[in-house]
């Protein structure tokens, strides 16, 4: 073991020290996180922010309405519309027309409306 | 002609480009230029982090974090400044953050959580005296370790070290003087203890 009498000897020893080797994959990990880094793709669809934004806006509006005490009239109006709707659907005539409409829809969905090419139509005849 | 000369003397053309040009090229969209900067400084940056933190894994993370921050904020790099000073300052601050976190989560003093292992491969093949010197440096307080690392092991100038550490140049000189004093004391005590 060396005895360091003066600064010069210590300085020489310090300057002679080598830098440690970094881990083998350090450069690779640095490059992977910088220049080869692929930005993460957006996980939300384009319409989703609009939907969530709309819902948030509606919630805020509702909250303000609650604070201002305008909920009771709104609830009354909604209840009266509900009653009118229920009365409309309970009439026999309405129900009959709904049944006719549903039957027509089912029948049309069963009809084959595919237009065949000319030579196939001729062969059918 | 130039390319042929470079090839004949096996000189990497990228080694002739200065750091500022590489930064400018990276900002202009040629991202490979940053790769050259990484090649130039990854060893020195890791070394500074390792000397400051004395933990291989943390040093590696700090080095990676420093380059990531540098890459992200390359636009804030001042054209007249030295890239080496800038990247060293970033890694030094990253190390300080880690040391502060380490202190918060343990009751130990900052320098006590040491990775006293000899270090990466180079130390395994180093001479006994060099290993002893490295171990003695590891025993120094953090500010002295950093100054010794930057000045003696990386050959940085006083003014650059002052900029990296954010202290006056006189403080750097004082730290260096005290670091050497402590180092000599540690080494000589070991020598005296080993003698019969």
From B42, B132, B183, residue closest to A22, measured CB to CB: B42
pTM of the model: 0.60
Residue of A nearest to B153 (CA): A15
Please write the tens of the pLDDT for every residue from B111-142.
434 444 445 554 444 567 888 888 899 899 98
- Phi, psi angle pair for B92, to nearest 5°: -65, -40
What pLDDT sits at residue A121? 53
* Contact with chain B for residue A107, Cβ under 8 A: no
CA distance B138 to B146: 10
Residue of A nearest to B189 (CA): A3
* B30/chain A closest Cα distance in angstroms: 10
Q: How far is CA B119 from the centre of its chain?
A: 15
Per-block mean pLDDT, blocks of 10 residues, chain A (125 long): 80 82 88 80 76 92 79 80 89 91 90 59 52
Pick the closest to residue B38 from B13, B61, B64 (CA basis): B64
* Contact with chain B for residue A2, Cβ under 8 A: yes
Domains and CATH numbers, chain B: 17-194 (1.10.1740.10)
DSSP A112: -
Regions of chain B where pLDDT drops below 70? 1-15, 106-127, 195-196
SS3 call for B41: helix
Cβ-defined contact of A34 to B190 (cutoff 8 Å): no
Cβ-defined contact of B152 to A15 (cutoff 8 Å): yes
* Contact with chain B for residue A32, Cβ under 8 A: no
């Amino acid at each position: 073991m060396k005895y360091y009498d003066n600064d010069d000897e210590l300085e020489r020893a310090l300057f002679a020290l080598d830098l440690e080797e970094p881990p083998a994959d350090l450069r690779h990990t640095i490059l992977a996180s910088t220049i080869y880094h692929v930005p993460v793709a957006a996980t939300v669809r384009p319409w989703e922010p609009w939907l969530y934004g709309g819902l948030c806006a509606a919630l805020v509006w509702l909250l303000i309405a609650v604070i201002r005490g305008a909920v009771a009239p709104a609830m009354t109006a909604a209840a009266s519309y509900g009653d009118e709707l229920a009365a409309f659907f309970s009439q026999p005539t309405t129900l009959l027309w709904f049944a006719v409409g549903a039957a027509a829809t089912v029948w049309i969905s069963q009809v084959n409306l595919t237009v065949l090419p000319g030579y196939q139509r001729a062969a059918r005849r | 002609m130039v390319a042929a000369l470079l090839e004949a003397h096996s000189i990497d053309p990228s080694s002739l480009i200065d750091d500022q040009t590489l930064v400018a090229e990276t900002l202009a969209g040629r991202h490979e230029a940053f790769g050259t900067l990484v090649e130039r400084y990854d060893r020195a940056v890791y070394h500074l982090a390792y000397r400051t933190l004395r933990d291989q894994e943390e040093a590696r993370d700090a080095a990676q974090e420093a380059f990531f921050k540098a890459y992200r904020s390359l636009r804030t790099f001042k054209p007249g400044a030295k890239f080496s000073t800038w990247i060293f300052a970033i890694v030094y601050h990253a190390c300080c953050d880690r040391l502060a976190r380490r202190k918060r989560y343990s009751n130990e003093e900052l320098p006590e959580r040491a990775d006293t292992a000899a270090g990466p491969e180079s130390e395994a093949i180093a001479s006994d005296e060099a290993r002893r010197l490295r171990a003695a440096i590891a025993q120094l307080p953090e500010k002295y370790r950093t100054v010794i690392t930057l000045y003696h092991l990386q050959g940085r100038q006083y003014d650059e070290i002052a900029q990296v550490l954010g202290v006056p140049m006189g403080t750097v000189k004082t730290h260096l003087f005290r670091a050497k004093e402590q180092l000599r004391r540690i080494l000589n005590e070991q020598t005296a203890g080993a003698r019969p």
